[in-house]
Amino acid sequence: MIKVKWLTLAIGAIILCHAPVKAQTKHSFSLGEQDFLLDGKPFQMISGEMHYPRVPREAWRDRMKMAKAMGLNTIGTYVFWNLHEPQKGVFDFTGNNDIVEFVRIAQQEGLWVVLRPSPYVCAEWEFGGYPYWLQNEKGLVVRSKEAQYLKEYKAYIDEVGKRLAPMQINHGGNILMVQIENEYGSYGSDKEYLAINQKMFKEAGFDGLLYTCDPAADAANGHLEGLLPAINGLDNPAKVKALVNKLHNGKGPYYIAEWYPAWFDWWGAPHHTVPAQAYAGRLDSVLTAGMSINMYMFHGGTTRGFMNGANYKDTSPYEPQTSSYDYDAPLDEAGNPTAKYLKFREVIQRSLPKGQALPQVPAAKPAMQISPVTLSQAAVLLNNLPKAVENPTPLTFEDLKQDYGYMLYSTTVEGGRSALLKVKQLRDFAIVMLNGKTVGTLDRRTKRDSINLELPTGNVKLDILVENMGRINFGKYLLENKKGITEKVLLGGEEVKGWKMYRFPMANSNAFRFIKATQSGNSPVMKKGNFNVSTLADTYLDMSKWGKGVVWVNGHNLGKYWNIGPQQTIYVPKEWLKKGSNSIIVLDLLTYNEQKVVTTSKPVLNVMVKK
């Protein structure tokens, strides 16, 4: 009897949820005993997570049309503090950071939005979404009641509220509800802290429906009395209902806020895939039970620039995530439907009343292969040094107010000997050079912090180029996220002093002196070239013959590559190409004499190379 009742409600909800979202029409959205209520009627969210910075702004609308065609009625997204306040007091909601436009396009496409400003997001994102500069505020402790943190947090959430609170459903917009904090129960259990979050959100103008979300095992820690507890990672309807009832006075609604039909990747580990069939039945059981769900991810896209995060805990090594955020999601990295997309669409279609059809699936985009591109110009980093900062001991990225990229540490040591070089607390990857020539690497992932050096006679120039491979985005080490050489350098057991630091944040890839490329490179180098296209289509750069680095096309930082895998290609969206001449710049830390970039029409995301 109960099953029949829930099925009836679910079908009724789906009829509602595919009605257009009318702009500037005020609706009500509230909690019923068992269901969400839209204008007083049962409503079932069938949502998919998609993050605006991981998709070119020019493609937001196309991705949303794909969401609609699969049967989704809602888009979930985080809001990323470190994108919107990259430096203290400097806010940016423009270009690909224009979340207001992202929400507006969703409304135009007939989609509701679940907003997750947190301010902590996890999301395999640099520092879990926190701005790096928080670490420069002495005594500041994230995710706590510490006064400085709350002050900075409030300034940020107020800026978000100015722009997005008017877009809540009760103000004529399409934001159904707003999440406070994010999986806080996996981190702490301070209910007073959660209440402060709630108060801040309300003061920022978020006066609609607020909720928390946590993994099932941590939901009691992360739930705040009076708010709806959403559950992550659990898709057994009976278990979800029992847990929510326990925390929410015996009532629903029931919302699975993060449902994982696959997983993310990190460097040096195989690409994660999950067959669609393994999750189609689970999706069907949730929808049949009338529960609301958010697929994490519906479309992952790409974590471009230097914005990938990393995992690290006592039982596993440091694991920086790949730039590809394909996630084996229903919509692939380029925004094309997969077998999983079609299977899930079948499940959703079956839950609709007879005769009600989903929109036709837009055609997959063509992808092209371009003739090999010759990079004829080069800029050696050691020949393009910015102004140095001198200090007896190494300074961190944060000490020098540098967010991402690379830092070069340079000094002179006495030669004519063999000695062990040890970098204590390296974060994260280093190229070691003697007299301008690379002699080895250090890698936090493998705990390789030492190298034996054969020092030539005389004074020897020692250079250590350190890469920030991504600040930790989850767990207790969130509070230990400074980058660079964070302690000291030992050579032959003696501390090395007298350092010059050179900052390479790589915010402007054109700010380097390029000359004709040669085949005699022996240290990290940038290569530059141009290529012509007559047709605009997606393509992929095959970087498997290169070493480790970053690629820019037409000024867009497309993300990182590393030939250890699993990711071997870099996705180039057609929206960022132009007919005629296009520019490409490659920074490589390990391979100095490669001069050609080849392309392919298909991604390569699961090739491992043992190093």
Active site residues: 183, 258
The residue type at 368: M
Give the 3-state secondary structure of residue 578.
Answer: coil
Q: How many CB atoms lie within 10 A of CB 151?
A: 12
Q: Are 468 and 306 in contact (CB under 8 A)?
A: yes
CA distances to 384, 413, 488 from 460, in Å: 20, 5, 19
User: Which helix (H) or strand (E) covers residue 256, if one does?
Assistant: strand 255-259
Q: Which residues contact 610 (CB under 8 A, 6 or more apart)?
A: 564
Q: Which residues contact 111 (CB under 8 A, 6 or more apart)?
A: 21, 64, 67, 68, 72, 73, 74, 75, 174
Helix 339-350 to helix 60-70 angle, to the nearest 10 degrees?
A: 50
Q: Name which of 573, 53, 94, 576 is nearest 308 in CA terms.
A: 53
Token reading at 191: 């209910």
Q: Are 348 and 280 in contact (CB under 8 A)?
A: no
SS3 readout for 50-73: ECHHHCCHHHHHHHHHHHHHHCCC
DSSP β-bridge partners for residue 214: 231
Q: What strands lie across the sheet with 472-474, from one edge to the other?
A: 316-320, 310-313, 472-474
SS3 readout for 88-153: CCECCCCHHHCHHHHHHHHHHCCCEEEEEEECCCCCCEHHHHCCHHHHHCCCCCCCCCCHHHHHHH
Q: How many CB atoms lie within 10 A of CB 346?
A: 16
Give the chain's largest Cα–Cα span: 88
What is the rounded CA–CA span in Å between residue 344 and residue 372? 38
Helices (H) and strands (E) in the chain, counts: 10, 36
What is the rounded CA–CA span in Å between residue 366 and residue 128? 34
Q: Are 213 and 258 in contact (CB under 8 A)?
A: yes
